[in-house]
Structure 1
Amino acid sequence: MSMNALDNIVPMNHFETMDSVDIRDLERAKALLESAGLATRLTDLLGTPIEKGLEMLPERWNRRVMQITRSALSKAVQSAVLTMKTSHNKEPSKFWHKVAVGTTGGIGGFFGLGAMAVELPISTTIMLRSIADIARSQGEQIKDPDTQMACIETFALGAKSCDEACESAYFTVRAALASTVSQAIEHITQRGLAGEFSPAIVRLIVQVTDRFSIQVSEKAIAQALPAVGAAGGIVVNTLFMDHFQDRATGHFIVRRLERKYDPALVKRIYSML
């Protein structure tokens, strides 16, 4: 919604405590966070309804995807965030991360579903590094446990927003993860992220996996289509990365504004946009 249209609905005194530039940034963040889900984007790209493929999957497939996704996310957490270095670069390196993930997508496109256990950990690690890079570009301190957990949290934000009756899928997901995130941050602050994961970090990975595995299934189905092949797998993986880069950008814009303003104010204005 444009600012002019917004003025006709909400009196400007609701926004007097937030700078107009920041309101536009928040509007952009909402557009990125509440945009079409991955299944819709894949359907538009391939002309095949991905949702129908999900409905036809056997229960054992869902369990296998959950196992692979959880393992991939665990490996990514251990390697990606820990190796990120502090940098003063303002703009994140989105393009090169897309190239890297697109290349691994060729594996899935060529070998099909059987390659997912090999390809997904690599793709997820690259994606988490990209998410951390985006966080850094929005002023986050990458070695801060709060930032590290917010990067992991991003994988739970991949689904499309709930229906219009819902307050906001974005804030609903964050609220659902808040307690586990807080416990994980406390553990990392005291003991660090290296070594064996604490129960709190394991719980967070499990919670995020529940949501992230849906997009993983959508991606896998798209790559398994006979007409896709290795070249199509590259395109699918690039779209997969682009989807989560958008979610990460929106997420860390909101967090930047929450550091500048009262988080309750940010949430209230977000709901009005």
Structure 2
Amino acid sequence: MPDNLADQASFLTPHEQEQLWRAAVIMADSRGVLLRLAGVFGRRIEALRASVAQTGERLGGAAWTGLIQRVQDTVEDTLWSSYRYATFGLEAVPHLARPKAPRNNPLHRLATTASGAASGFVGLPGVLFDIPFTTTTILRSIAEVARDSGEDLAEEDTRRACLQVLAFGGPGTADDDVETGYWATRLGVNHLTVNLLISNAASQLGITLSEKFLAQAVPVAGALAGAALNYAFTEYYQNMARVHFCLRALERRTGDPAALQNCFQDMVRLARERRRVSRRPGTEAPVKYLPRTTR
């Protein structure tokens, strides 16, 4: 961790400081190359929507609204069915056997990538399979991150926390808005009932998936888009889960959420500055990121 943050984070142990800095780096790097590519797709989709609206505002608007609502309904139904069963077979990890950092779960990214490629190959009809499969797999992956972080999956609060990750906004969020959206959403959904929380998460994820599926609507050509975007989205929510459950664990251990939030925000800002500086040719940044743990 950078030396200039050591005093501010003095209320944490060295190991906790390292955990928080790693979470800050993940937050700063939450939009990788594939997600920036997804942003390109998003701009193309906006152009497509404008084109449809020009040919007939009423028809285009109704078609787009209907697509979003259909996807959202499917996601909501999937979340309801997965809410209790996404953790099936996931037993608590004993403290001594717990990994130092949550596992990367590459099989989940591989599975959703294959699903995106398959659904994109046949076009929009493949969406009927891809939506529930991708949503369930992402939620399962989030639950595994929670387990590796020491959460008790048998508790209702943990399952709610898994759903919260899906409500933190889509991967299309601008860099500097990811952190703001995270804290705002946590504040807004903490006291929602499960019914409202699932509706909120389905709304956020439904819009994201609607745009993704428009990008892969053309058969065969959509296979590459579907595979790349599914991989990127799964990785994004896995990373957000790592940040979320790391902060939850540190909040419980320190008992001072406000100090932790202030320290984390400063770490994220420094991590973003480090990333921007390191992109300039011939410029070396004075601080190195902690290496990501791979398992």
Task: Answer whether contact 1:54 1:217 (CA < 8 A) is retained.
Answer: no
Secondary structure of 2:157's partner? helix
Task: Give the alignment partner of residue 68 of structure 1, picking from 56, 71, 74.
Answer: 74
The equivalences for 1:89-168 within 5 A come to 90=99, 91-92=102-103, 94-159=105-170, 168=180
Residue 33 (structure 1) aligned with residue 27 (structure 2):
yes
What is residue 201 of structure 1 aligned with on the other side? Answer: 194
Inter-partner Cα distance in structure 2 for 1:48 and 1:102: 19
Residue 49 (structure 1) aligned with residue 49 (structure 2):
no
In the superposition, the TM-score normalised over structure 2's length comes to 0.72
What is residue 217 of structure 2 aligned with on the other side? Answer: 224
Inter-partner Cα distance in structure 1 for 2:166 and 2:46: 19
What is residue 175 of structure 1 aligned with on the other side? Answer: 187
1:4-50 deviation line (CA, Å, top 9, x unaligned): 4xx1xx6x543221224323322322333354558x734527x9432
The equivalences for 1:15-34 within 5 A come to 15-34=9-28
What is residue 3 of structure 1 aligned with on the other side? Answer: 2
Task: Answer whether contact 1:159 1:215 (CA < 8 A) is retained.
Answer: yes
Inter-partner Cα distance in structure 1 for 2:144 and 2:2: 30
1:65-108 deviation line (CA, Å, top 9, x unaligned): 22222122222214212443334453536012222222222332
Task: Answer whether contact 2:212 2:226 (CA < 8 A) is retained.
Answer: no
Task: Answer whether contact 2:215 2:222 (CA < 8 A) is retained.
Answer: no
Inter-partner Cα distance in structure 1 for 2:251 and 2:244: 11
The structure with the larger Rg is 2
Inter-partner Cα distance in structure 2 for 1:118 and 1:272: 42
Inter-partner Cα distance in structure 2 for 1:226 and 1:178: 41
251-260 vs 83-92, which moves further: 83-92
Aligned residue pairs, count: 246
Task: Answer whether contact 2:41 2:215 (CA < 8 A) is retained.
Answer: no
Task: Give the alignment partner of residue 258 of structure 2, picking from 250, 264, 271.
Answer: 264
Q: Which has the higher helix share?
A: 1
Task: Answer whether contact 1:42 1:222 (CA < 8 A) is retained.
Answer: no
| Closer/same/farther in 2, CA of residues 3 and 43 from structure 1, 3 Å limit | closer
Residue 253 (structure 1) aligned with residue 246 (structure 2):
yes
Secondary structure of 2:152's partner? coil
Task: Answer whether contact 1:30 1:270 (CA < 8 A) is retained.
Answer: yes
Structure 1 unaligned spans of 5+: 181-199
Inter-partner Cα distance in structure 1 for 2:176 and 2:229: 29
| Closer/same/farther in 2, CA of residues 55 and 19 from structure 1, 3 Å limit | farther
Per the TM alignment, residue 250 of structure 1 is displaced from its structure 2 partner at its CA by 1.1
Per the TM alignment, residue 254 of structure 1 is displaced from its structure 2 partner at its CA by 1.0
Secondary structure of 2:103's partner? coil
Task: Answer whether contact 1:130 1:245 (CA < 8 A) is retained.
Answer: yes
RMSD: 2.9
What is residue 192 of structure 1 aligned with on the other side? Answer: none
Per the TM alignment, residue 56 of structure 1 is displaced from its structure 2 partner at its CA by 4.0
Inter-partner Cα distance in structure 2 for 1:159 and 1:62: 14
